[in-house]
Structure formats: C-alpha cells, structure tokens
A = this chain, B = another copy of it.
C-alpha cells in the first residue's frame, strides 16, 4: 500500500468461495492492490438488505494470492459498509462486485445483491461496477467475462463516472471471440411474472418455492435486453436517486392537501 497503485475493493453476493469472485479477483490483480470482502455464504436475491437485528462476524481468511481476503456473515451491502469502516486503509479508488453467476439485467438490478453492493459503493462516493455473466452454472467459463471486467474497470479507473452513478455490466455467456462489442444501454422495462410452486411437506403442511417467468415487453433497441440478445455486453449506468422527477409536476397539479378535519 502507499505505492501509488489504485486501491480496489472486491465483493460479490454468491459468497467467498464462488468461482465468479475468484475470476474477478484474478482480472483485477494487474490493476491495483485488492481487498476482498465477501459474504461467508451465498446471498443471491438479497437486494439492498442490511443486517440491523443481528450481529455480524468478520474474519480474515487465507484464500490465495497476495491479497487480503475477509469473510463477513452479513449481506453484500453489509460487506461494503464494514469494509469501509473496519478494513480499508483509505477510501478505495474502485469497488467491483461479482462476477455474478446469472444475469442482473433490466429489473433484476433491483433484486440483485451484486448490484446492491456496487450501489452501496457508489453511495460511499466510490466509482463502482457490478459484473454478471449470463450463466447460472457453478462451472461456467468466466474467461470472456473476466476480460470484459478488466477493460471496463481500467476505463472507470482512468475516466471516473458521473457523480451519483455506477455501472451494471452484463456479459453474454459466449467465448470472447464471439462477443460483438460493448453497448451503453438503458434498463429494459421488463419484469418477472410470479409462479409459486406449491408443495406438501412430510407433516402435510403446504410450502412454496418462488419461481417465475421473465417477461420483456420493451421493444427498444437501446435496452440491455436487446444488447444481450444480440451478443453485446450491456453497460447500464445506474443511479441511487430514485426520485421520479417527471412525476413531481403531475403530483403538484393534483394539489395534495392536508385536510385536518375530514376523516
């Protein structure tokens, strides 16, 4: 440390043993000094959850390479918060999250622990990027995704990002030579249609598994879904100002008033 090299915080939501995290660590090694702070167990779908009704464990662990690895019992967002307060010697130059096993395109950005960790980095004022490979398999080939991650991370280290924004990078599960390029996109207006799978346990009580069908009615060719379906890496700039600014005039016209008498 103190050698002028960039300081990079690496985290994920699939947990400290996930191959996607190790691929990302390898990809970042040439770019700076790394601290890895990741959940001690899988945390997919945790969104922007934080741990406020339970205590947290944090342990330094031996994994591999020259880097400092820590595992935390909390969520991906907890990992970023505790790294900032208890681990990092200074504010890092970059926060990267992933490489996620599975897509975080379109509406999945909202449910994703990977993207929430990157968003927490951005809230802390750190240039931040989440990476996801469109392949849920534990033995997916991360080589193309790792190459993309290095290109994007280098560019962000060099150029920075507009204030209040981070990047959501999704990568088709294709060999590097078959990737068509990188497209800057908007989030497609897609959603999941829920289908809960109903089952009966050995004591005859019902239980449910969340499943669903991904539905994209957004026909725009400027969306992440379009880019991914056409063999491009999608890069969506994401913000944590959730205000629907366009709705403010509409609501003001309606005259929301505090009538203290009428019940």
Contacts and interface: CB of A to CB of B under 8 A. Distances in A.
Contacts of A77: 47, 111
B208 A189 contact: no
B84 A194 contact: yes
User: Among the interface residues A155, A210, A259, which one has the most CB atoms of the partner chain B within 10 A?
Assistant: A210
B254 A155 contact: yes
Interface stretch (A3-11, A17-25, A92-100, A156-164): A156-164
Interface string A205-224: 11111100000000000000
B243 A247 contact: no
Contacts of A162: 244, 246-247, 250
A230 interface: no
Contacts of A262: 151
A210 B240 contact: no
Nearest to A150: B263
By secondary structure, the A interface counts as mixed
30 contacts: A45-B52, A45-B53, A46-B47, A49-B49, A49-B75, A51-B210, A55-B208, A55-B209, A56-B207, A57-B207, A57-B208, A58-B208, A77-B111, A82-B194, A84-B194, A86-B196, A107-B123, A110-B119, A123-B191, A151-B256, A161-B247, A162-B247, A182-B258, A184-B252, A186-B241, A186-B245, A186-B248, A237-B243, A237-B248, A239-B242
The 6 closest A-B pairs by CB, nearest first: A47-B48, A237-B247, A239-B244, A165-B244, A237-B244, A47-B47
Given A45-B50, A86-B208, A237-B248, 16 more contacts: A47-B49, A49-B49, A50-B111, A56-B207, A81-B194, A81-B196, A85-B195, A159-B254, A165-B244, A181-B258, A235-B251, A235-B256, A238-B244, A239-B242, A239-B243, A239-B244
